[in-house]
Structure 1
Amino acid sequence: MNSSDMVQRLKRIDRLSILGDEILADLARVIIPERHPPGTVICRQGEVESKFYAIEWGEVLIKIETKEQEMSVGRLAEGDVFGEQALTVDRPRSATIIAETIVDLLSLSRSDYQRLSRKHPQLKRIMGGPDIPPLLKGVPLFSKLSDDELADLAERMGTLVFPPAKKVVEQGDRGTAMYVVSEGELVAYRKNEMGQNRPVKALNQGDAFGETSLLVSEPRDATVIAKTYVELCYINRASFERFKDEHPGIEDKLQARPEVERKLQVESFPGQQPDEIVEIKENKHWIAFARAVGKPAFMLMLAAMILGAMNFIGGGLASEAMSQDWFSTALTILWIIWVLASAGVFIWHWIDWHNDFHIITTKRLIHIENELLRSTSRDEIPIRQVQNVDIERNLLGQILGYGHMRVTTAAGGDGTLNIEFVRHPQEFKDAIFKQVSRAKYREVAAERSELERVIRGAIGVTVLDKKIEEQAPPAPMEALGWSALLTQNWLVKQLHKILRGLFDFLRHPHLPRQEIVKDDRIIWRKHRILLLKVAFRPLVLCLLILSLILGAMAGGAGWINWSGLSPSLFGKALLALSLIAILALGWLLWEVEDWRNDQYIITKTHIIDIERVTPILLKETSRQASLDDIQNTNFSIEGFWNRVFKLGDVTIETAGEGTFTFTQVRAPNKVQEEIDKRREAYENKLRQEEAERRRTEMARWFGVYYGTSDDIETRIKRARRLYPTDWLKG
């Protein structure tokens, strides 16, 4: 290909289009075209390279790996570039770039860039980006950083160029990067309740957006679109985390916005999912503590008044009836008891109040109620199922800033959550619906992405569908020795399985299983404490009869001399005791089997409650409900000993089958977490199946339209327009 053709190809790259023809001609001589099929890893996060890439055709997927997880954070398409930092510094790649379609790239090496930048200083500005430290100094988040820290942070940042009308970020997408505007103008849009985009903010040189996404990885609140040609400097979460690790104490210098700082200080809670972000976690309003401590405080004040009266008038009585010293000692002891009681009551109720939480996350609305040493309960509702939130405030609540809330789901009265003493209830309500909107936006964005994938596949554009995995080459076949043949023999494997099961039984022969995992289902039984409770009497009876049988056997054999009793009497007694022992043992087995037959089951699609009244008559009551009918779940642990033994109930409210109660199970919080996890997985599966059905149908129509509207000549013209001309050769 001649130089003039390459110059025209370079002009299609946004970053390079503003360069002069002389610079482009020199670049055309050193640019190397590269082609990559779908699935190719072009560069990997953490590796050090020295190449810059421009995308001439196709799309690539951007993935980053943080401390928490690996995630896809965006795509680059025709006209975009990546790897600018590799032209100037030896720094590990901040992301992994994977070819999602057939990709044609134009690559530039560091040595060629350095040679050309000495000849053309303008190239250094365009390729190397702006002077970033002064820009960062004007960003409030980084305003307290030193010059050296700003310079180090700037080296970790990249630059992007967007033409007018190009979308930079989209509302609802989970963001992991922060942007600073170097040149140009942008507009931020936000969808209203009608689904219409409304401008909310103009962004100019020096402005920044994406602070919350960088620090908390929250979904984007707005869609940002370029108004003119813009140049942006960006830092992603992975690079920023490494920057913080290399600069201990840097977090104290960051000047995050108050709402972001509050989110950073929110602590995690038991049962929080890895991809779940906590928006709000707060205790009840302080008035709840005041109400709880009010009654005992009144009683303590009454006691203090009585002690004060005794102290005032008791001196005269003590001089007549008793020693003044004895009376003073007794009064002092009573005052000490009063002080300790007051402190104990205050501390008890403060801990009890401090352990109650209202939590809003990106997935759930949760209410945790802990009564110190007595009970624990947790109610939760999936955030996407929230339909309405009612606020109730009396005069005192309006003055002090608290209220009670009633959250309703699609199930109406069966799916409600009552939350009392909420601080700033209107703000809490707004936060709930903010997460509801974000959940809907995430579903829409995912649906749109998948629809695009299916349609592009239907019209003949290859798209990467599966996760890229590196597979080791198959090991060479080797001859098996006698030891390998023995270990791979089917009979030997079965014998090993039996012996292992026997060994496990001998290790725990006395512990009936409370939780059984079979393939895709989990079976829970009631706590062993319940088994001990129902089996205690027949077990004691069996032991008593066994001791009598042993005594009768010893007497009949003459080992024990029972004076006045004939040997024949021992035989009759042994026969009678044996019959009674059979009945007692049957009673014991009855109770054990009755306990075993009450099962709570969860599968990938249903929850099932099975109760068999008697093991012999096999009278069975069975109820089941689909996981997608679940509207609300909660668990409760009542009483001190139940807390010690982790024994409680799990209540599941469904839309069609009413309320299910898993009674007296072990670790009810774990049971609730498993139910919620499977419910979410099943709902996602149903949504994906329905969406895939709609997408496939739509893609079929697009495919028919595409096939009937274009003849062979039209397709060739399109191919020549989309693909580089040398792709059509051969």
Structure 2
Amino acid sequence: MPQDRDRILQILRKSHLFVGLDDTALGTIADRFKFTYYKPDELICRKGEEADRFYVVYRGKVEVWVEERGGRRSLGTLIPGDYFGEEGLIQLSHRRAANVSAVHNPTVVAYLDERNFKEIVAEFPDVYANLKMIVRSRQLARAARFDWLGKDESIYLVARKHAAFLWLRMGATAAFLVLAGLLAWGGRASGLDFLYWLGVLALIGAVGLGIWHYVDWGNDYYIVTNQRVIWLEKIVGLYESRQEAPLHVVHSVNINTTQIGRLLGYGDVGVHTFTSSITMKEVPDPHRIAALVNEHWKRAQERQKLAQEISMRRTVRETLNLDPNAASLPPGIPWPPQPLPPPQTTLSFWDKINVFKMRYEEGDKITFRKHWLVLMYKTWLPFCLILLNITVMVVGWFNLIAGAFTLLGLMGWWLYQYVDWRNDIYQVTSEKLYDIDRKPLGSEQRKEAPLENVLSIKVDRHGLLRVLFNFGNVIVDVSGSKFTFDNIYNPAQAQQDIFWRMDALKRKKQTQQELQEYKRIARWLKIYHQETHNPPPPGETGEFPAD
């Protein structure tokens, strides 16, 4: 039908797969699509079967999933404009990598058969390159487990740094490995055992360094979902953090490349909001990734406008004494919209021990303490004196009674320093920031500021020690005054926590204002409805009586 062809053409225009193609080329591709219908829970693709079609969701919603020992594992849901089935047609195995089933009734998918699909990717190499990028991304997404994803949140891209940076590190490690091997060989040949064993240790260290470089490269991810852009950073054995930017508050996406980057096919993609930025550093195919981010940024804006329209419709129907739940919704659009899950951080070893917690949540309140290294700095002297005191008592160089009293005093000193560290806290709630400094058995100083007055947030993490142990300062500018969260663990995550609550507060107030405006418009419509359907009786004009 002509309207179906026009709708597919509209989907293709918005898709990152077909960026750069003119309407003539897009029209040629749209003409090749056919349509089929599926009932809820009906299987569209089965894992392991031969791939023979490429699909685009036209109406409704589908779920991608796999069977595992623990049961069914959902890999995400796809809505109108999304596509699937490309992996089986591109990969040599020619087999489906996951199950896909219909969720919504009705679910309509447009599809290209294998012959048309291969003709299109042969005619348009950029489309094939975009699909290859998505295939790599989906393989990474299946291999990794991102348990922090929210309800109705689906992954559209997972990327790592370009492999050139891994090979650069591996090349330096290989050179070190060769030198270590020569050292060991020279020591054996010359009969110098010391030199030989030094070479053996250097060999073991080089192998370990190579493994560490590979694992470290593989643990950093850049992720794009239907709700946010995320940077997962992990340094093996030290820390893991997550920074994110909600798509609906993005205001620009840019690309930065160098001459070498253009030759090797890598660059930086910057995603900027009014309060923060996430830079996808040294990723392959930066222009293709930027096109995908732009597509989902525009989709997020469209969903926000749609949510506002639906909210207005429901308010108007409720005011007119109609069923608000009967407001028309586009098929496949979830209602009510699911809120973005708040950012979370992986707990460090010290966080898992209650007495040394550096970040914990109670309801909507997040509490931060200074890093455990600050506690060690404050308590190292009484701790060493306690050990010395115990040693002297054990060897009998000190009177036991005097030693016991001295030990109690030293333990009291250590405990005072611990409580002082524990009571120096920073808090973020849904509406305010707090800086609380409570001295043991002494005074308490408390500063607070509304989140809506925050002007900027900066992270200061200078110095090798701070980088290795992931701690630093978060500096918050609040209407000209400074709030400084000193030496807290994972300051980038704390910055994201504040940004998240600022955005949530802003959206809450904006929603309240919009709701008030919708109610005001609805009251006008109700009066209009009453006036037009119930006109005044004959002889009544609605005018004021003459004097």
1:422 to 274, 283, 289: 283
Q: Does the C-alpha gap of structure 1 residues 185 and 211 become closer, same or farther in structure 2, counting only changes over 3 Å?
A: closer
In structure 1, how many angstroms separate the alpha carbons of the residues matched to 2:145 and 2:462? Answer: 21
SS at match of 2:237: coil
| Aligned residues of 1:186 and 1:204 also touching (Cα < 8 A) | no
> 1:206 aligns to what?
34
Measured against aligned partners, the alpha-carbon deviations of 1:320-361 in whole angstroms (never above 9, x if no partner) come to xxxx98759999988866765554443232222112222122
Amino acid at match of 1:236: A
Give the aligned partner of residue 269 of structure 2: 405
Alignment of 1:22-101 (within 5 A): none
> Cα deviations across residues 235-280 of structure 1 (Å, max 9, x unaligned)?
7327999xxxxxxxxxxxxxxx767755653244353333322111
Partner of 1:189: 10
The percent of aligned pairs where both chains have the same amino acid is 21
Q: Which letter maps to 1:707?
A: Q
C-alpha distance 695-268 of structure 1, shift in aligned 2 (>3 A):
farther
Q: Quick one: which amino acid aligns to residue 354 of structure 1?
A: G
Q: What pairs up with 1:673-712 in 2 under 5 angstroms?
A: 681-711=504-534
1:593 aligns with 2:419: yes
Q: Note if 1:431 corresponds to 2:296.
A: no
Residue in 1 that maps onto 2:170: 293
Distance 1:692 1:341 in 2: 63
Write the deviation string for residues 218-246 of structure 1: whole angstroms up to 9, x where unpaired. Answer: 34339xxxxxxxxxxx97327999xxxxx
- 2:443 maps to a residue whose letter is L
In the alignment, is residue 236 of structure 1 matched against residue 98 of structure 2?
A: no
Choose the corresponding residue for 2:153, options 272, 276, 300.
Answer: 276
Matches of 1:385 and 1:365, distance apart in 2: 11
Residue deviations 1:495-550 (CA, integer Å, cap 9, x gap): xxxxxxxxxxxxxx99477667656534343466754652453466579889999x
* CA gap 1:439/1:340 in 2 versus in 1, 3 angstroms: same
Q: TM-score, normalised by structure 2?
A: 0.59
**In 1: Cα distance, 2:178 partner to 2:135 partner:** 41
What does residue 444 of structure 1 align with?
305
On the 8 A contact 1:278/1:362 being kept in 2, the answer is yes
CA contact (8 A) 1:454 1:696 kept: yes
Partners in 2 of 1:203 and 1:397 — Cα distance?
38
Whether the aligned pair in 1 keeps the contact of 2:161 and 2:282 (CA below 8 Å) is yes
Q: Distance in 1 between matches of 2:408 and 2:205?
A: 57
Partners of 1:240 and 1:526 lie apart in 2 by 54
Question: Is the CA contact 1:263–1:278 (under 8 Å) kept in the aligned structure 2?
Answer: no
* Distance in 1 of aligned mates of 2:458 and 2:242: 8
How far did 1:602 drift? 2.6
Given that residues 271 and 278 in structure 2 are in contact (C-alpha distance below 8 angstroms), is that contact kept between their aligned partners in structure 1? Answer: yes
Deviation of 1:628 (Å): 9.6
Q: What amino acid is aligned across from residue 78 of structure 2 in structure 1?
A: E
* Distance in 1 between residues matched to 2:206 and 2:359, nearest whole Å: 45
Q: Does 1:384 align with 2:270?
A: no
Aligned 8 A contact 2:430 2:501 in 1? yes
Report the secondary structure of 2:34's partner residue: coil
Paired position in structure 2 for 1:348: 212
Q: Distance in 1 between matches of 2:155 and 2:234?
A: 20
Aligned residue among 534, 539, 552 for 2:378: 534
Structure 1 contact 635–672 (Cα < 8 Å) conserved: no
Contact 1:356 1:368 in 2 (8 A): yes
Deviates more, 1:363-372 or 1:324-333: 324-333
User: Does the residue aligned with 1:217 lie in a helix, a strand or coil?
Assistant: strand
User: Residue type matched to 1:438 in 2?
Assistant: R
Distance 1:290 1:517 in 2: 41
Q: Is this contact kept in 2: 1:625–1:654, CA < 8 A? A: no
Q: Which amino acid aligns with 1:605?
A: E
Pairs within 5 Å for 1:321-340: 327=191, 340=204
Partner of 1:521: 365
Whole-Å separation in 2 of the counterparts to 1:206 and 1:430 = 26
The DSSP-based 3-state class of the residue aligned with 2:10 is strand
1:143-162 superposed matches below 5 A = none
In angstroms, what is the RMSD of aligned CA positions?
Answer: 5.6
Q: Check if 1:393 corresponds to 2:221.
A: no
The answer to whether the 8 A contact 1:374-1:639 is kept is no
* Aligned equivalents of 1:630, 1:653: Cα separation in 2: 8
Cα distance between partner residues in 2 of 1:659 and 1:401: 42
Task: Give per-residue Cα distances to partners, 1:449-474, cap 9 Å, x unaligned.
Answer: 111111122233232499x9xxxxxx
Report deviation, 1:598: 1.1
Matches within 5 A, 1:302-701: 327=191, 340=204, 342-411=206-275, 415-464=276-325, 511=355, 520-526=364-370, 530-531=374-375, 533-538=377-382, 587-588=413-414, 590-612=416-438, 614-615=439-440, 618=443, 620=445, 622-626=447-451, 648=471, 651=474, 661=485, 663-665=487-489, 681-701=504-524
> CA 1:633–1:448 in 2, change beyond 3 Å: closer, same or farther?
farther
Task: Name the CA shift for 1:371/1:582 in 2 (closer, same or farther; >3 Å).
Answer: closer
Supply the distance in 1 between the matched residues of 2:464 and 2:326 (Cα, whole angstroms). 52
Once the two structures are TM-superposed, the CA of residue 595 in structure 1 deviates from its matched residue by: 1.5
Give aligned pairs, total.
426
Structure 1 distance, partners of 2:280, 2:33, is 45
SS in 2 for 1:210: strand
Deviations 1:51-86 (A, max 9, x none): xxxxxxxxxxxxxxxxxxxxxxxxxxxxxxxxxxxx
Q: TM-score with structure 1 length normalisation?
A: 0.46
**Are the equivalent residues in 1 in contact too, given 2:358–2:488 (CA < 8 A)?**
no
Contact 2:157 2:223 survives alignment (8 Å)? yes
Q: Give the superposition deviation at 1:370.
A: 2.7
2:474–2:491: 8 Å Cα contact kept in structure 1?
no
- 1:186–1:583 distance in 2 versus 1, CA, 3 Å: closer
- Aligned counterparts of 1:594 and 1:684: Cα–Cα separation in 2: 37
Q: CA deviation at 1:284?
A: 0.4
The alpha-carbon deviation at position 399 of structure 1 amounts to 1.1
Matched residue SS, 1:460: coil
Question: Does the 8 Å contact 1:279/1:360 carry over to 2?
Answer: yes
Q: Which amino acid aligns with 1:462?
A: D
**CA distance in structure 1 between the aligned counterparts of 2:6 and 2:166, rounded to whole angstroms:** 51
Q: CA deviation at 1:701?
A: 1.9
Rounded to whole Å, the distance in 2 between the matches of 1:545 and 1:340 is 41
Distance in 2 (CA, whole Å) between partners of 1:434 and 1:354 is 26
| Deviation for aligned residue 1:599 | 1.2
Unaligned runs of 5+ in 2: 15-21, 37-55, 65-75, 83-99, 108-130, 328-334, 336-352, 538-547
Conserved 8 A contact 2:265-2:285: yes
In structure 2, C-alpha distance between the alignment counterparts of 1:712 and 1:264, rounded to whole Å: 62
Corresponding residue SS for 2:430: coil
| CA spacing shift, 1:439–1:450, aligned 2, 3 Å | same
Structure 1 gaps, min length 5: 1-161, 166-180, 193-197, 223-233, 242-256, 312-323, 469-508, 561-569, 715-730
